[in-house]
């Protein structure tokens, strides 16, 4: 009898575990708490009770005790009540453990996303503070200083503003579009001064969208991406157009691909895609061989 009872208990535990695993997939605790609790309790109780009744039937057949149920009728009723209480405690315990595990995993996932955001921001910041960019800026200053002192002064001011804006933006997750455009204007001034008729940036932004938020350095990274991967020529200048609509920002440039593209840190477009993915949004890019367009949604 003890061996039968032990086997019955093991079978009941196995079935309960399988049932709850299936229910976790079909009816989640965090989505349908009451429905899940009721289903779990009723199904678990019914399963265990049926298993134990089956155990008693086996016992009756083995020992040929025809009066078994009439003799132990009251005990069977007590067993049912005891099982009812045990299953209730089990269901509550399962709910507590599942909730704890769910919230723990959610916190770990949130921390992982925050760390990923920080790493992406650091990569973005690192690309802007690269010595190569500073060297090119200083080189441009040295070439301008003898030609036009006023323009040289403006160049230095914009270079200083650019670095200050980049450092300031590294402490925040989102910035208003108008702040991002200040960075873009300083950045484009440096390259327009350096390349003159080979590069221009057209900003066509509706004032109604200036308070909308985007991740910092998004537009600047896309500008850098266009400058890095396209040849700058006077006969075919690189023209970048930034415009807005109710859905977000559109950044468009003509394609005049370099024959030998310099080694990239691979943080431009991919960096932006990953940052938006972590924020639950997607960006759209279109490459029709003549123009490259990136559409970026606003963030709340």
The average pLDDT across 217-221 equals 85
H runs (alpha helix) in the chain: 2-26, 33-63, 68-71, 73-128, 131-144, 149-169, 177-195, 218-229, 269-278
Percent of the chain with pLDDT over 90: 14
pLDDT at 244 over 90: yes
Please compute, for residue 195, the number of CA atoms within 13 A of its CA located in the half-sphere on the CB side: 21
- pLDDT tens-digit series, residues 124-143: 555 554 555 565 666 666 66
- pLDDT tens-digit series, residues 8-56: 667 777 777 777 777 777 776 667 777 777 878 888 888 877 777 777 6
Q: Give this prediction's pTM.
A: 0.56
Give pLDDT, residue 60. 65
Percent of the chain with pLDDT over 70: 73
> 165-172: long-range contacts (C-beta < 8 A, 24 or more apart)?
166/125, 166/128, 166/129, 166/217, 166/220, 167/125, 169/216, 169/217, 170/121, 170/122, 170/125, 170/216, 172/216
């Amino acid at each position: 009898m003890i061996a039968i009872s032990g086997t019955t208990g093991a079978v009941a535990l196995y079935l309960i575990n399988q049932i709850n695993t299936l229910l976790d997939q079909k009816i989640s605790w965090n989505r349908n708490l009451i429905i899940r609790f009721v289903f779990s309790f009723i199904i678990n109780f019914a399963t265990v009770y049926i298993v134990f009744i089956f155990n008693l039937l086996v016992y009756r057949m083995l020992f040929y005790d025809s009066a078994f149920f009439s003799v132990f009728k009251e005990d069977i009723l007590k067993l049912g009540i005891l099982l009812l209480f045990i299953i209730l405690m089990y269901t509550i315990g399962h709910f507590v453990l599942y909730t704890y595990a769910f919230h723990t995993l959610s916190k770990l996932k949130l921390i992982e996303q925050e760390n990923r955001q920080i790493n992406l921001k650091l990569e973005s910041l690192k690309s802007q503070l690269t010595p190569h960019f500073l060297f090119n800026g200083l080189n441009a200053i040295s070439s301008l200083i003898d030609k036009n002192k006023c323009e040289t002064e403006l160049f230095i001011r914009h270079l200083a503003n650019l670095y200050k804006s980049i450092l300031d933006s590294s402490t925040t997750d989102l910035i208003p579009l108008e702040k991002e455009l200040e960075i873009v204007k300083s950045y484009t001034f440096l390259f327009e001064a350096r390349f003159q008729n080979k590069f221009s940036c057209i900003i066509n932004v509706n004032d109604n969208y200036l308070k909308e938020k985007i991740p910092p350095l998004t537009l600047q990274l896309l500008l850098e991406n266009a400058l890095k991967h396209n040849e700058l020529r006077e006969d075919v200048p690189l023209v970048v157009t930034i415009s807005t609509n109710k859905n977000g920002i559109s950044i468009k440039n003509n394609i005049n691909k370099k024959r030998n593209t310099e080694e990239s840190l691979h943080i431009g477009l991919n960096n932006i895609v990953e940052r938006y993915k972590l924020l639950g949004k997607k960006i759209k890019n279109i490459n029709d061989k003549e123009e490259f367009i990136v559409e970026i949604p606003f963030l709340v």
